Structure 1
Amino acid sequence: MPAADGSLGTWDARAIVSNMLPLLVVLCTIVLWAGITLEEAEALLDEFGVLAVMVPTMVGAGGNLGTILSSRLTTRLHLGTTNLDLHDRVLWANVAAVLALAATVFTTLAVGAWIIGRLIGAPLPLSALLTISLVSGMSVAVIAVVFSFATTYGSYRLGIDPDDTTIPIVTNVVDVFGMLIFIGVSTLVLS
């Protein structure tokens, strides 16, 4: 639990390592699942090479969106300017900003993949790429928002500094869900 004054205490390397080492081991195992999913989707990625171009951006952007929100939540928590109040306008403005950024990034990803597909001779219709990118990307963005909130407030309630936990948890979880969703949506759209 947080200290009596509401702070999470001072920086202590031993506490950080003892909190993070088991967490990082679990997260490494979880990320292996994303790798296995990618390996199982090799046939799909071979058939539609432009999808392979989208994978790193899809996964990376989802994690980045989650870390943006996690960092903002953690900062507000440390400053004492937030609590989990559903009437907090700034909280919802941050969520809206992340979702708007996701829509922009994943639309750009689809258009970029369409252009690359035409250049390398592996074109897919822009409508298919937009569907894959936006459905996958916005789903991942929502998952990133949920895990950002859960990790930030869960860590704080457990007395662990959210700065130590939010980014590794959110990025790893979003990587796994990002791969699963992207491959699933791609399979549905292109079948």
Structure 2
Amino acid sequence: MVVPSAAGSLGTWNWKRIVGNMFPLLVVLSIIVLWAGITLENAEEMLEQYAILAVMVPTMVDMGGNLGAILSSRLSTRFHLGTTELDPSDRELWANVGAVLALAVTIFTALAFGAYLLGMLIGSVIPLPTLLLISLVSGMSVAVIAVVFSFAATYGSYRLGIDPDDTTIPIVTNVVDVFGMVIFIGVSAIVLGL
């Protein structure tokens, strides 16, 4: 494993370095997140027709980002402890990925059931199998994207000598939020035949 020099040590806290690294990144991420807002605005008609989907949007987007943040934090910790090199044969690494994907299945299944029950109360009923299909296809796609970007952001930050704790969560949550929105709207439109 390559260890950064003392001048660029990942363990050194320096607000100027953090702001210098993060400001351009946050500008780019803000522009990317704008895409999610445009996608949501373009789906306004579908969300009005199927109000329960509008209720699912925040949870879908938020949970994808949270799953990515969990994995990013675990990877960052392993880098700081010197216990990983992102070796594909590392069983603990795959156990973390498996845990995130299992959590995703649980969360997105619960989201479908919760949305179905709430839909019955507010009169926006979409059949449970349809909600399960939308929730699981969207959610698992977002979870896979969260895993990929967690690895890329953590490994890339570390290799560039930037503390992964400073960069991974903003990168992963913003990118996954955007993809989560786009995938959820796309899958919903396809499944509902719109």
Aligned-residue sequence identity (percent) comes to 74
Q: Which amino acid aligns with 1:10?
A: T
Q: Is 1:171 equivalent to 2:176 in the alignment?
A: no
Q: How does 1:13-92 map to 2 (within 5 A)?
A: 13-92=15-94
Whole-angstrom CA distance in 1 between matches of 2:24 and 2:95: 34
Name which of 114, 123, 140 aligns with 2:125. 123
Residue equivalent to 2:5: 4
What secondary structure, in the 3-state scheme, does the structure 2 residue paired with 1:87 have? coil
Q: Which amino acid aligns with 1:46?
A: E
Deviation at 1:4, TM superposition (A): 3.4
Please tell me the root mean square deviation across aligned C-alpha atoms, in Å: 1.3
What secondary structure, in the 3-state scheme, does the structure 2 residue paired with 1:86 have? coil
Q: Which amino acid aligns with 2:10?
A: L
Deviation at 1:2, TM superposition (A): 5.0
CA offsets 1:123-174 (integer angstroms, 9 cap, x no match): 0000000000000000000000000000000000001000000000000000
Whole-angstrom CA distance in 2 between matches of 1:106 and 1:3: 40
Whole-angstrom CA distance in 1 between matches of 2:4 and 2:76: 16
Q: Which amino acid aligns with 2:61?
A: V
Residue equivalent to 1:98: 100
Q: TM-score, normalised by structure 2?
A: 0.96
Whole-angstrom CA distance in 1 between matches of 2:146 and 2:45: 28
Q: How many residues align?
A: 191
Whole-angstrom CA distance in 2 between matches of 1:22 and 1:80: 28
Deviation at 1:8, TM superposition (A): 1.8
CA offsets 1:31-79 (integer angstroms, 9 cap, x no match): 0110010000000000000000000000000000000000000000000
Point out where structure 2 has 5 or more consecutive residues left out of the alignment.
none
Deviation at 1:24, TM superposition (A): 0.4
Q: Which amino acid aligns with 1:107?
A: T
Q: TM-score, normalised by structure 1?
A: 0.97
Deviation at 1:3, TM superposition (A): 2.2
Whole-angstrom CA distance in 1 between matches of 2:18 and 2:9: 15
Whole-angstrom CA distance in 2 between matches of 1:7 and 1:18: 16
Point out where structure 1 has 5 or more consecutive residues left out of the alignment.
none
Deviation at 1:95, TM superposition (A): 0.1
Deviation at 1:9, TM superposition (A): 4.3
Residue equivalent to 2:192: 190
Whole-angstrom CA distance in 2 between matches of 1:139 and 1:82: 26
Whole-angstrom CA distance in 2 between matches of 1:98 and 1:170: 14
- 1:63–1:170 contact (8 Å) kept in structure 2: yes
Whole-angstrom CA distance in 2 between matches of 1:94 and 1:108: 21
